[in-house]
Amino acid sequence: MWRRALAALGKTGWRRSRRDLLSPPLAAAAAATAAAVPGSLPTPSPAYSPRQHRRTYADASAAAPHPPEMPHTARLEAQKRFLTSLVQMMPDFIRSAQIHRGHDPRPHRAELVLEVPPAATVPVLRFLRNHSSCRFLHFIDCCGVDFPNRPDRFRVVYNLQSLTYNARIRVQTYVDEVTPLESATAVFPGANWFEREVYDMFGVFFVNHPDLRRILSDYGTSFHALRKDFPLSGYEEVRYDELEKRVVYEPVEITQEFRNFDFQTPWEHFPSEGGSEVEFYRLTHGNRGQGDGTEVAKEEKGDDAGGNSSAPSTPAK
């Protein structure tokens, strides 16, 4: 029986009847939306087509106004409260909490920085990933910096991003040439190649790394190219030998005499703290042993830290 009805309607008539059944609710919804927000949605034509429906709502979403940006002072205060709550929740794991470039009024210019001991790197990263007020699920990268005038000369930095709260944070620690650092691959598997690059360029050894090998230099090299005491000319040069029919490594031969200058080396011009970043807000340890063990908030520039309650807060969007 249904075959005879389909043959009577025909393929075109069946499509037209199905289109007429679908179009009235959609047309009514579009008309109600257009009446509520004038000029947001054009009224669809009676002959409904899915392509026109998609184009209509795409134009409406593109024309929708974006939410206003949070004011600079409110965003800065929210970041201060968030860092204060982190220090109160992890007093033994955080040495200092800082806001770099907090005076910059442009959005997303202030950077949240946590300085932690080498043994606390993985616990802090796991806390920032799992806590509901943080949700830093996106691992951006891991990098290293060399400060030859320090006992712990290498700074290892982990950059994280929270898509839930639209925030970024840096977790950094300091190690020397012989102190190993726990690998973050157990928390963020994406740290695998970044830690290999830090090991290759700086010589920082990562414990419990699944595949700690050189990634940029040759496997047989014994130097680390991004250390400040590494010479610009290097130690070895590579060439193809026609007699041996292979690539050979030889000591560097400089045809022109290398000129020695009496000026200071470039890294001696930087401050002792490293870099020229402005620490707008900083939380440091107080006299721990005399009181109840809580942290003391100290601000080098700006207003009071605020947010003394132990309840966790969220970073500013």
What type of residue is 171? V
Q: How many angstroms separate the CA atoms of 173 and 139, rounded? A: 17
β-pairing verdict for 181-182 and 206-207:
parallel
pLDDT of residue 14: 44
Give the burial class of 255: count Cβ atoms within 10 A of its Cβ; 0-12 exposed, 13-18 middle, 19 or more buried.
exposed
pLDDT of residue 215: 92
Q: Report the predicted TM-score, pTM, of the whole model to 2 decimal places.
A: 0.62
Query: 146: which DSSP letter?
Result: E
Q: Which residues contact 269 (CB under 8 A, 6 or more apart)?
A: none
pLDDT of residue 83: 93
Residue pLDDT, tens place only, 207-229: 999 999 999 988 778 889 999 98
Task: Note down pLDDT in tens along the chain; length 317 residues.
Answer: 556 655 655 544 544 444 444 444 444 544 554 444 444 444 444 454 555 545 554 555 555 555 566 787 888 888 999 999 999 999 999 999 999 887 877 777 788 999 999 999 999 999 999 999 999 999 999 999 999 999 999 999 999 999 999 899 999 999 999 999 999 999 999 999 999 999 999 999 999 999 999 999 887 788 899 999 888 777 888 888 888 888 888 887 766 665 665 555 555 554 555 444 445 566 655 444 444 444 434 444 444 444 444 445 666 65
Q: Taking Cα atoms as reference points, which of 65, 173, 162, 171 lies closest to residue 108?
A: 162
Whether 115 and 94 have beta carbons less than 8 Å apart is answered as: yes
Burial pattern 191-212, b for ≥16 Cβ within 10 A else e, equals bbebbbbbbbbbbbbbeebeeb
What type of residue is 293? G
Q: How many angstroms separate the CA atoms of 144 and 177, rounded? A: 13
What number of residues does the chain have?
A: 317
Q: What is the set of domains in the chain, with CATH numbers?
A: 2-62 (no CATH), 75-298 (3.30.460.80)
pLDDT of residue 258: 58
Helices (H), the chain: 2-36, 50-63, 72-89, 121-130, 192-202
Residue pLDDT, tens place only, 248-274: 888 877 666 656 655 555 555 545 554
